[in-house]
Amino acid sequence: MLARGDFASVVYLIPAMPPSSVQSLLECYIRAKDQNQPELIFDCFAADAEVTFSIATDAIDFPHRVIGASAIARTLVADFGERFDRCRTYYVCIAPEANGEGICTMPWVVAMRQKDNEALRLGKGTYKWRIGSVPGEVDRIIGLHIAIERMDLIDDPGTVKLQTLQESLTYPWLPPTALAECMELFVANHPDPVAVAFWHPFRH
């Protein structure tokens, strides 16, 4: 039995989607979210797309389920942008790979500033996309499950830590080896206990 937010198993007889198409859609989503441009959601999500969440932390909240491009634009971009800025979300992979059913799964990391206290927010989790053809249109994102594992808050006067971290990470496609190198250096130079705890699971 599939949990909410999961998608059906792979049908191997169907050819995989072109990586360029998937990459274009995922980059459009990142621009919309990180640059607070809700109108871009309509360029990458189907009108009736669904987003679901599983959240393993009390440090951030989202509704369990959001349906429709308009609601997605409001929840993931406009409302999100009221709480956070200077956001960069990283896909922790070299390039996206979708299977024959348009399913694409990858880890993500986010570094951003919380507006009300100017703290650094470091988060990580997994995206599970479902991409499909919309009648009369090109491919669109028709489903997304966002798993949030951590969303840590780190004191960051002057936004020095955020700037240092973002300047060291390739954006938005971040190879795992590059993330490891940059985070090791970051926690060495900024040995905040929360940052160390955030990075520790990546080492195993």
Element (H, E) at 132: strand 120-133
How, if at all, do strands 65-67 and 45-55 pair? antiparallel
| DSSP, res 138 | -
Structural domain tally of the chain?
Answer: 1
Longest dimension (CA), the chain: 54
Contact 92, 179 (CB under 8 A): yes
Using the predicted structure, report yes or no on whether residue 1 has a pLDDT greater than 60.
no
User: Would residue 31 count as lying in a domain?
Assistant: yes
Tokens 């998937």 found at:
22
Using the predicted structure, report yes or no on whether residue 7 has a pLDDT greater than 50.
no
Element (H, E) at 146: strand 139-154
What's the rounded Cα separation, in Å, for the pair 69 and 86? 23
pLDDT of residue 177: 96
User: Would residue 71 count as lying in a domain?
Assistant: yes
User: Would residue 120 count as lying in a domain?
Assistant: yes
User: What would the pLDDT profile of 147-197 be if each residue is shown by its tens digit?
Assistant: 999 999 999 999 999 999 999 999 999 999 999 999 999 999 999 999 999
pLDDT of residue 6: 40
Structure tokens belonging to residue 2:
């599939």
User: Would residue 169 count as lying in a domain?
Assistant: yes
User: Would residue 135 count as lying in a domain?
Assistant: yes
User: Would residue 139 count as lying in a domain?
Assistant: yes
What's the rounded Cα separation, in Å, for the pair 99 and 123? 27
Using the predicted structure, report yes or no on whether residue 11 has a pLDDT greater than 60.
no
Residue, of 204 and 48, whose pLDDT is higher: 48
Verdict on whether the full-model pTM lies above 0.95: no
User: Would residue 7 count as lying in a domain?
Assistant: no
For residue 82, give its domain range: 19-203
Residue 35: band (very low, low, confident or very high) from pLDDT cuts 50, 70, 90: very high
SS3 103: strand
User: What would the pLDDT profile of 97-153 be if each residue is shown by its tens digit?
Assistant: 999 999 999 999 999 999 999 999 999 999 999 999 877 768 999 999 999 999 999
Q: What is the CATH number of the domain that holds 96?
A: 3.10.450.50
User: Would residue 60 count as lying in a domain?
Assistant: yes
